[in-house]
Structure 1
Amino acid sequence: MAKVKRARSTSPPDGGWGWMIVAGCFLVTICTRAVTRCISIFFVEFQTYFSQDYAQTAWIHSIVDCVTMLCGLGFALCYSPAIAMVGKYFSRRKALAYGISLSGSGIGIFILAPVVQLLIEQFSWRGALLILGGFVLNLCVCGALMRPITLKEDQTTPEQNHVCRTQTQDFKQASPCSTWTKEWVQTCLCGSLQQEYSFLLMSDFVVLAISVLFMAYGCSPLFVYFVPYALSVGVTHQQAAFLMSILGVIDIIGNITFGWLTDRRCLKNYQYVCYLFAIGLDGLCYLCLPMLQSLPLLVPFACTFGYFDGAYVTLIPVVTAEIVGTTSLSSALGVVYFLHAVPYLVSPPIAGWLVDTTGSYSAAFLLCGFSMIFSSLLLGFARVVKKMKRTQLRFLAKESDPKLQLWTNGSVAYSVARELDQRDGESVALAMLGSSPT
């Protein structure tokens, strides 16, 4: 088979074939995330057909979402790599590119929600799932659009990789079964893995990871229970599907407009703040949901929640790239989406258990809302603490030595005053040696 030719080492093109990558990622999100979220429409059908309670029926959606984020199976092989590819091709317009790419989820929900309801009415839930399966086969087309690219920052240690490969081949030629060969290969692998996943030791990434756990717990149950909740307050099946369509189309607007806004010069340095702001507002929407018990009240909720859901989903890769850089973005996104798995698995059944126990959706929605608000507050608190430490370091540096200038790059700080003093000492020593008699 012909090998795929990798593009030459370059900077992100911010266009060109990158727009085809965006188109491919757009279709991937339609075929994965949109289809998964439309399972909410199947919820009542499953519950009626199998005669199960909310907690038992919720496991269907939970397992789908969990396996997508946890393993290398099914949708996971398409979703995470497609998102990482967008980050490779875009730098200056990264938020906009992600906004367009991830808007596929909203567009998919907007189109598929009424279509799925119609398919269920015409062909039953079995026929509807069969047709959706055929639609998902378009992922093969999306994969054909992905063209690898090698950036300059990916070539940081080419000499080390070349030496490692060369010496490994020499060891194999000398003694194929030698224990030295095995030890050297293990050393090379450990070194590459350590370099690839070094971001796991960064305090900023640890805080982001913890916040993702709470955010993922809160965001999943709505897409399982929104339609059942609407039906419980007297909304018809078609109107419930219409609410999901509204949620989807406003999600699109949130993806694109929030991505475009945060790419502007005035907000470019505040993308992190915009991310936690969107998560917090979605949490507040959750807290208001138990009081909304009619279609005219649920429509504004769908608009508000959908917009900020699309907003923070767009900024997840951007915030991750800001913390770890583009070189480790693919691995970091894999870890971030991996962390979605456990909350996605347990949150819908827990919410279903609360509904079965209390006979109301209020406790389930309130728990999700507080979880998302805590996620936002945790990120905000971590950013405030980091800024306070930076300010304290600058203040101490100025107080200790007026000549000292402190330069900061993330969490790394270094001084140029010491180098200047060393150069002054060397110049004085050379002058003394030059003036001394030979």
Structure 2
Amino acid sequence: MPRVLERADGRWAWVVLLASLVTQALTVSFPSCIGIFFTELQRDFQASNSETSWFPSIMGAMLNGGGPLCSILIKHFGCRVTVMLGGVLASLGMVASTFSSSLIHLFLTAGLITGLGMSFSFQSSVTVVGLYFVRRRPLANALASIGISMGVTLWPLLARYLLETLGWRGAFLIFGAIFLHCCVCGAMLRPVATNVGPEPKEDPLLPPKIPTRSCLGTCVSSIQYHLAFDILRHNMSFCIYVMGATWMILGLSLPHTFLVPYAMNHGIDEYWAAMLISVIGFCNIFLRPGAGLLAGRKSLAAYRKYLFATAIFINGLTNLICTVSADFWVLLGYSLLFSLSMCGTGILIFQVLMDIVPMDRFPSALGFFSVLCGVASLISPPMAGWLLDKTNNDFSYVFYMSSGFLLSGSLFMGVGFYAAEKKTLKQDGQAKMEDPTSEITSTHDLTSEDKDSAKKQPYPKNISMTNV
């Protein structure tokens, strides 16, 4: 019996949006509360700053680095199964971590297994929003990302309460039960029909059929496809995006990890230190819908990538505030300004990628980007921890390092996008002069609902049926 497929931009799309919002609140925002347990874990396992920093780095690396495997699972099983599998893995990892007797055990359970599970659930929830929404995609991405803000608001407060009442082992056990709610969100994802056109005889998300080749050649071809190497070779904007955004990730997560220890190191009460992270998330709950409406305007579609680079640049500047003073009111003002810049970064990071690549190749492009982000997330906190050990716990250097990565990454993307756009316009002009009878159209190159932002994409957007 054939399955009934939901229509893109239909009523059920808003239910899927709610499921994605909750999934993002449960997964990608969870590392924001790890700083609450930093001092407790360091004391319990008698570890240094650099050694303890490997815990959030491994979790963040797996949260991002599981992208290619998540892309393969989405292709073969759909987003529904992948989200539910991620919830089960995340729960098992947290429950197993309560029995850890060393940091190595904690790295393997809460870091590796939970991080991989969160990766499956989170990246599938991002992909399914892009498939269900076409006309309102920027707004849908912004509304779904409110879940991240809600998570950043609630996770630190919950973690602080559970740590005081149950200890870190009891808190991790409760977290394992909470992650099972991803399975409920995954069950709400129905198959969706997108776009118009006849149903293809083969899955459009799979590589085209090729002649029989060796096992090694087949593996290499599959890896190249699922890591979007074809897009990387032909799409200059995608190259600029992944390089600049990966460099930016090296500094983006550091304030979430080290702001609470920094405040506590300067005499601020543990509760109020945790409140600083919650302020960032709470402000974003109200800022992101308005920012999403603004980013979704067609008049700004061609400038979204520049707005993304500007938001990162402002984010880097705000981190310098923490180097001036560790007074609570100064840090509170920093949290408010930081929330503004994080709002722009959060709603545009995936929307810009959807503008640059076609939606049928988005899971592969996201998988490749997430691998690079995973590497950046793996080395960033240990670098900061090593810097703290070498500077006798001077947190100012951590925020200097974060600002350096953010500012340089934003400048690279801004200049790179501008240069790539000028080069493409020049090539188009030369082509018209050489063959004035040819007509260059952009409808074949659409990568999103905005034609202005997709003129230069050489890949056709041609999805007619997607199994979510």
TM-score (norm 1): 0.81
Which of these residues, 182, 185, 196, is aligned with residue 139 of structure 1?
A: 182
Identify the residue that residue 3 of structure 2 maps to in structure 1.
5
Pairs within 5 Å for 1:115-264: 115-152=158-195, 158=201, 190=221, 194=225, 197=228, 198-201=230-233, 202-264=235-297
- 1:335 offset after TM fit, Å? 1.7
Moved more, 92-101 or 193-202: 193-202
Unaligned runs of 5+ in 2: 70-115, 443-454, 459-468
How far apart are the structure 2 equivalents of 1:247 and 1:32? 17
**Given that residues 217 and 371 in structure 1 are in contact (C-alpha distance below 8 angstroms), is that contact kept between their aligned partners in structure 2?**
yes
Say whether the 8 Å CA contact 1:253–1:310 is kept in structure 2: no
> What is the rounded CA distance, in whole Å, between the counterparts of 2:36 and 2:260 in structure 1?
7
Provide the residue aligned with 2:124 in structure 1. Answer: 81
Match of 1:174 in 2: none
Aligned partner of 2:12 among 1, 6, 17: 17
Q: Which one of the candidate residues 339, 351, 363 is aligned to 1:330? A: 363
Deviation at 1:211, TM superposition (A): 0.9
Provide the residue aligned with 1:274 in structure 2. 307
**Cα separation, partners in 2 of 1:193 and 1:344, compared to 1, 3 Å:** closer
Q: 1:343 to 1:390 in 2, by over 3 A?
A: closer
Aligned residues: 393
Over 3 Å counting, the alpha-carbon distance change for 1:412 and 1:199 in structure 2 is: closer
The Cα offsets for residues 317-355 of structure 1, whole Å up to 9 and x where unpaired, read as 211111111111122112222221011111001001111
- Cα drift, residue 274 of structure 1: 1.2
- Matches of 1:355 and 1:192 in 2, distance apart? 39
Residues 1:98 and 2:96 aligned together: no
1:363 matched to 2:427? no
Residue 162 of structure 2 aligns to which amino acid in structure 1?
A: L
Q: Which residue of 1 aligns with 2:409?
A: 375
Shift of 1:189: 9.7
1:38 aligns with 2:26: no
Displacement after TM superposition at 1:155 (Å): 6.9
User: Which structure has the larger Rg?
Assistant: 1
Q: 1:43 to 1:6 in 2, by over 3 A?
A: farther
Q: Within 1, Cα distance between the matches of 2:435 and 2:128?
A: 47
What letter matches 1:146 in structure 2?
L
Residue identity opposite 2:27 in structure 1: T
Q: Distance in 2 between matches of 1:16 and 1:54?
A: 49
Contact conserved, 1:153 with 1:327, CA < 8 A, in 2?
Answer: no
SS at match of 1:14: coil
- Identity rate, percent: 27
Structure 1: stretches of 5+ with no match in the other structure = 169-179, 414-438
Distance (Å, rounded) in 2 between the aligned partners of 1:390 and 1:341: 31
Q: Distance in 1 between matches of 2:203 and 2:192?
A: 21
Instruction: For 1:331 and 1:363, locate their aligned partners in 2 and report how far apart those are by CA, in whole Å.
Output: 36
Preserved contact between residue 255 and residue 307 of structure 1 (Cα < 8 Å):
no
Tell me if structure 2 keeps the 8 A contact 1:282–1:309. yes
Maintained 8 Å contact 2:288/2:343 = yes
Q: Residue 50 of structure 2 contacts residue 385 of structure 2 at CA under 8 Å; is this kept in 1?
A: yes
Q: CA deviation at 1:262?
A: 0.6
User: How far off its partner does 1:246 sit?
Assistant: 0.2
RMSD: 3.2
Superposed displacement of residue 131, structure 1: 1.0
Q: TM-score normalised to the size of structure 2?
A: 0.76
Contact kept? 2:227, 2:368, Cα under 8 Å:
no
Checking the alignment, whether the CA contact within 8 Å between 1:253 and 1:307 is kept in structure 2 is: no
